[in-house]
Chain A
Amino acid sequence: MIRFENVTKVYDQKARPALDSVTLEIDRGEFAFLVGASGSGKSTFLRLVLKEDRATSGAVYVAGQNVAKISSWRVPRLRRGIGVVFQDFRLLPQKNVFANVAFAMQVIGKSRSVIRDTVPEVLKTVGLEGKEHRMPHELSGGEQQRVAIARAVVNRPGILLADEPTGNLDPTTSMGIMGVLDKINQNGTTVVMATHDDDIVNEMRKRVVELKNGVVIRDEARALYTSMIPVVGQSRRLKDASGREAPDGGLPGKGAEGEAQR
């Protein structure tokens, strides 16, 4: 679904590249975490997928298309296939929940009847039934992020990019958001989430891609936030160990949250 081939992105000739010869493939329906310190290149990765920036060298493929070859007037079509969620929600403060989600459909010319049918359905998916007429300031942070997620997926994109979606939220609320993202992923949407939140990564046990100074230093399936020595046997033992730890940690909590979501 997303494929990077030796992608390098240089913002400033004098500084080190933001991404340095990154080769990476994320399959359809996969859930991947992008982790790494600030400035490691996570946001640049997401920007390149959206064609907000152009790769200095190398090729970025999204849904089989080389984004460098998409002409500027077709970029909107690329972006319709990608939903984006941010740390700061980015809701429109003067519009209510329904209108915020409907906005994403209005601007691409969906008919009123389709909007009336689809929006409540999506709001139900993110767990916001009955709150259609609330204004963003009347919602909690977690609820606002759910509105943002609803807006990102209302046009049924194949890919959902999340740039630290839980960065402004407390751990319990964050787990609720993760439940929503997991559900969306299970409906077939490829999810790429950039995050600093180690608890979440440890509990989700999904693929982890770690970036450092623009280089992929780790790419593991069902992995943890903290770096593991990439020896097959040892990593399995670590995983098992963390698996055993989980019952005292967040996993049951996550399960409960997940249940509450559904």
Chain B
Amino acid sequence: MRLAFILSEIGSGLRRNLSMVVSVILVTFVSLTFVGAAGMLQMQINQMKGYWYDKVQVAIFLCGEGSTAPGCASGPVTPEQQQGLNALLESPAVAQYINDFQFESKDEAYKHFKDQFSNSPIVDSVTPDQLPASFRINMKDPEKYQIISETFSSQPGVETVIDQRQLLERLFSVMNGASLVAVGIAGVMIVCAILLIATTIRLSAFSRRRETGIMRLVGASKTVIQLPFILEGVIAAVIGAALASGTLWAVAQFFLGDYMSRQYPDTAFISSGQTLILAPALLVLGGSLAGISSLLTLRRYLRV
């Protein structure tokens, strides 16, 4: 009985200030979409890190025809120089930092290049001679890149030492920046949502002050009086959060899943299923924000 009563009170409250409820839904929807977008960017970064960091290596490119680096003054790398580098990589001073290393000849480099850009016309204009031979080093700790770089960049026959991770880090820092912007926008929108929920609850409490006054006089408990108002805000916010979750899922499913992964087939995008992990978090966040802000509002505007 009491539950049915509370539900009917909630229903009448939602109906009575429908426009405010709709605006609460929309504001929570937009703010939580930004929160979720930040979350998705972080997930995407983690996904790419996991995908790339295993494959990414420190590459020591060897001098080829026409290399202009100072270490290549004596022309292309000689077999002796290459032997010397190989010995240096196997020496205990260096070996303690690396898991393993491979030599990639010009022909192998050409093959990898062809695989990677198989659907691009650039393959036709590249010859094996244009690609440098390299040592591909798999580091034990990618942070120790500096040691390899210092040891090898001054060796004869070495054109340059590149930490491929750094190339990715630049991309990740752009994505991190984007997610920070998303979080910033989300923060502002959440403040809006909280204030709007507080105003809505206040209006709702004001428009029903007759009922609540009588409830108070006949000895209704605090729960029975306040719960309809709190649930009103929570329901609106949860609807907004559900819309936000749906939007994020749609973005992952149709934009990342269908469009982006066709454009960039060698990049691992997060799946739409992964975004569903965000949904419960968004629902709880939306619901608790609304609950807390309406509780605080009621404490001021609805004496019990």
Interface centre among B211, B221, B225, by most chain A C-beta atoms within 10 angstroms, is: B221
Known: A90-B213, A92-B211, A108-B219. 11 other contacts (CB 8 A): A76-B219, A76-B222, A103-B218, A104-B214, A106-B5, A107-B215, A108-B224, A110-B1, A151-B214, A151-B218, A155-B218
Q: Mark A74-93, 1 if CB is under 8 A from B, else 0.
A: 00111111111000001010
| B2/A104 in contact, CB under 8 A | no
Which B residues, 208 to 249, have Cβ-Cβ distances below 8 Å to chain A?
Answer: 210-211, 213-222, 224-225
A177–B214 Cα gap in the complex (Å)? Answer: 20
Report how many residues on chain B are interfacial, defined by Cβ distance under 8 Å.
18
Which A residues, 139 to 190, have Cβ-Cβ distances below 8 Å to chain B?
Answer: 151-152, 155
For B218, list chain A residues within 8 Å (CB): 79-80, 83, 103-104, 107-108, 151-152, 155
For B217, list chain A residues within 8 Å (CB): 50, 79, 84
For B216, list chain A residues within 8 Å (CB): 79
Write the nearest CB–CB distance from B105 to chain A, whole angstroms.
81
A92–B208 Cα gap in the complex (Å)? Answer: 10
User: Which residue from chain A places its CB closest to the CB of B208 in the assembled complex?
Assistant: A92
| A109/B222 in contact, CB under 8 A | no
| A80/B214 in contact, CB under 8 A | no
| A107/B210 in contact, CB under 8 A | no
Q: List 9 A-B contacts (CB under 8 A).
A: A50-B217, A79-B219, A80-B218, A83-B218, A92-B214, A103-B214, A104-B218, A108-B219, A151-B214
Asked if A92 meets B224 with Cβ closer than 8 Å, knowing A107-B5, A151-B218, the reply is no
| A109/B224 in contact, CB under 8 A | yes
User: Which residue from chain B places its CB closest to the CB of A84 in the assembled complex?
Assistant: B217
| A92/B210 in contact, CB under 8 A | yes
Asked if A106 meets B1 with Cβ closer than 8 Å, knowing A76-B219, A76-B222, A77-B219, the reply is yes
- Residues of B bordering A, CB below 8 Å: 1-2, 5, 210-211, 213-222, 224-225, 304
| A107/B1 in contact, CB under 8 A | no
Which A residues, 47 to 90, have Cβ-Cβ distances below 8 Å to chain B?
Answer: 50, 72-73, 76-84, 90
Asked if A112 meets B1 with Cβ closer than 8 Å, knowing A107-B218, A107-B220, A151-B218, the reply is yes
A76–B220 Cα gap in the complex (Å)? Answer: 6
A119–B53 Cα gap in the complex (Å)? Answer: 75
For B211, list chain A residues within 8 Å (CB): 92, 103
| B1/A78 in contact, CB under 8 A | no
For B1, list chain A residues within 8 Å (CB): 106, 109-112
Interface centre among A107, A111, A112, by most chain B C-beta atoms within 10 angstroms, is: A107
For A112, list chain B residues within 8 Å (CB): 1
Asked if A76 meets B221 with Cβ closer than 8 Å, knowing A109-B1, A112-B1, the reply is yes
A207–B217 Cα gap in the complex (Å)? Answer: 26
For A90, list chain B residues within 8 Å (CB): 210, 213-214
A152–B215 Cα gap in the complex (Å)? Answer: 11
A78–B216 Cα gap in the complex (Å)? Answer: 11
For A50, list chain B residues within 8 Å (CB): 217
| A109/B2 in contact, CB under 8 A | yes
A81–B214 Cα gap in the complex (Å)? Answer: 14
For A92, list chain B residues within 8 Å (CB): 210-211, 214
A57–B213 Cα gap in the complex (Å)? Answer: 27
A103–B216 Cα gap in the complex (Å)? Answer: 12
| B213/A107 in contact, CB under 8 A | no
A92–B221 Cα gap in the complex (Å)? Answer: 19
For A152, list chain B residues within 8 Å (CB): 218
For B220, list chain A residues within 8 Å (CB): 76, 107-108
Q: Mark A109-121, 1 if CB is under 8 A from B, else 0.
A: 1111000000000
Interface centre among B219, B221, B222, by most chain A C-beta atoms within 10 angstroms, is: B219
